[in-house]
Amino acid sequence: MDHETIFTKLPVLQTERLYLRRLQKSDVAAVFDYARDPEMTRYTLWVYHRKMEDSEFYVEQMLAGYSSGKPTPWAVALKETGQVIGTAGFIRWNPVHGRAEIGYAIGRKWWGNGYATESSRAALAFGFKRLLCNRIEAMCDVSNIASARVMEKIGMRYEGILRQYLHAQGSYRDVKIYSILRSEWERK
């Protein structure tokens, strides 16, 4: 896969319990089901979806991302049922510098099951094997203890705090930054 088509032809990934696949128009209701929860978006850059049209717009944005070849996360779906429970994957990629950033969002009713960890591990493998990254990083709000724990579980190292790095939901927020290098990932 070359740089121009890697995200337009994003492959389906499988883990023990999950499929990571492209979002589809038919996923709008499932996205709305988890994205309408204000608690789920407490630490995100986006606000909860108040109406189905918000989820339709979100899915359209993701589809446009795939079409344009921009780094765009996968839908995370349960293997057992096919239910879409969130998203995970790449939000930035710089092939010149061998660097990428991952993100994930799993619906609250599925929290505590290790799905963010499992899907993020699959994304890391894709990043190091297919995107040929040397470094993959992730960030979370300083108050998001669960997300920081996911980053630690997938082998990322805490690097520090970026002060007032993001403006989200009306305020500037400090974020923790974590990363893993190819050499560290290969030793796992």
Residue 1 has pLDDT above 60, yes or no: no
Work out the number of other CB atoms within 10 angstroms of the CB of residue 57: 13
CATH domain 13-134 topology: Aminopeptidase (3.40.630)
Confidence at residue 47, expressed as pLDDT on a 0 to 100 scale: 80
All structural domains of the chain with their residue ranges:
13-134
Helix axes 28-35, 52-68, angle to 10 degrees: 120
Confidence at residue 154, expressed as pLDDT on a 0 to 100 scale: 98
Q: What is the C-alpha separation between 149 and 122, in angstroms, rounded? A: 17
Helix axes 145-153, 115-129, angle to 10 degrees: 50
What stretch of H or E contains 88?
strand 84-94
What stretch of H or E contains 165?
strand 157-168
Q: How confident is the model at residue 40 (pLDDT cuts 50, 70, 90)?
A: confident
Q: How confident is the model at residue 48 (pLDDT cuts 50, 70, 90)?
A: confident
| pTM for this entry | 0.94
How do residues 103-159 score in pLDDT, each as one tens digit?
A: 999 999 999 999 999 999 999 999 999 999 999 999 999 999 999 999 999 999 999
The full DSSP string for 13-69 is EE-SSEEEE---GGGHHHHHHHHT-TTTTTTSSSPPP-SHHHHHHHHHHHHHHHHHT
Do 72 and 60 meet the contact criterion of CB atoms below 8 Å apart?
no
What are the backbone dihedrals phi and psi of residue 175, each rounded to the nearest 5 degrees, phi first? Answer: -130, 150
Confidence at residue 44, expressed as pLDDT on a 0 to 100 scale: 80
